[in-house]
Amino acid sequence: MTYFQQAPELDVSGWLNTTTPITLEQLKGQVVLIHAFQMLCPACVSHGLPQTQAVHKLFENEKVSVIGLHTVFEHHQVMNKAALEAFVSEYRLSFPIAIDTASTQGVIPKTMHSYMLRGTPSIIVIDKQGNIRLNHFGRISDLELGNLIGQLLTEPENISSATSQDLPSKSKYPQKSQPNCDAEGCAI
């Protein structure tokens, strides 16, 4: 039997595109896609955010919730909430976007730290029981992401432990060591 890690709750300082804060606890029973990005990360803008928007649109009538997570770990001064609001408006993003709570002790914000993200873009997929089923830094193809969401959608909502021997228990994607931003993303 495979055991998955329970997704830690989001620790966020604000929300865009939603009037009420969202908790992962509320979303139990749904597949959740969290896209961690920075507004000045080129690969997030060219690949990750359009993909996330497409997931949001394709599954809007299904048990899939999409959340953007602004995990600023560089240029904190200029990637503030007002800047993010302008960015989200200009890029016409329509899914709820959370602002990761800044740390008082370092550059890495709190949710980014608790999920041990390696940079942006990162994609986290959580199953209906609240388990982390994918935690991936860099790009992932639409075919792979669609496949994973499709598999998780068919799982039952209310069992306490999924066995799912056919499903990836962790990311199988190679995780490169990258200095700063390149075409693949911005690494810590």
**Which residues are near a copy of itself by CB under 8 A?**
40-42, 45-46, 51, 54-55, 58-59, 62, 74-75, 77-80, 82-83, 86-87, 90-92, 141-155, 166, 180-181, 186
Between 10 and 32, CB nearer to a copy of itself: 32
In sequence order, what are the beta bridge partners of 127?
none
Q: Output the smallest distance, CB 12 to a copy of itself, in A.
A: 20
Between 10 and 112, CB nearer to a copy of itself: 112
Q: Which residue has the tokens 């390149």?
A: 182
Between 8 and 146, CB nearer to a copy of itself: 146
Q: What is the C-alpha to C-alpha distance for residues 37 and 83, in angstroms, rounded to an integer?
A: 14
183 token code pair:
């075409």
Q: Output the smallest distance, CB 151 to a copy of itself, in A.
A: 4
Chain-centroid distance of CA 180 in Å reads 19
**111 closest CA partner among 44, 173, 34:** 34
Q: Output the smallest distance, CB 150 to a copy of itself, in A.
A: 3
CB of 41 closer than 8 Å to CB of 181: yes
3-class secondary structure, 10: coil
Q: Output the smallest distance, CB 64 to a copy of itself, in A.
A: 9
Between 10 and 152, CB nearer to a copy of itself: 152
**64 closest CA partner among 73, 76, 55, 54:** 55
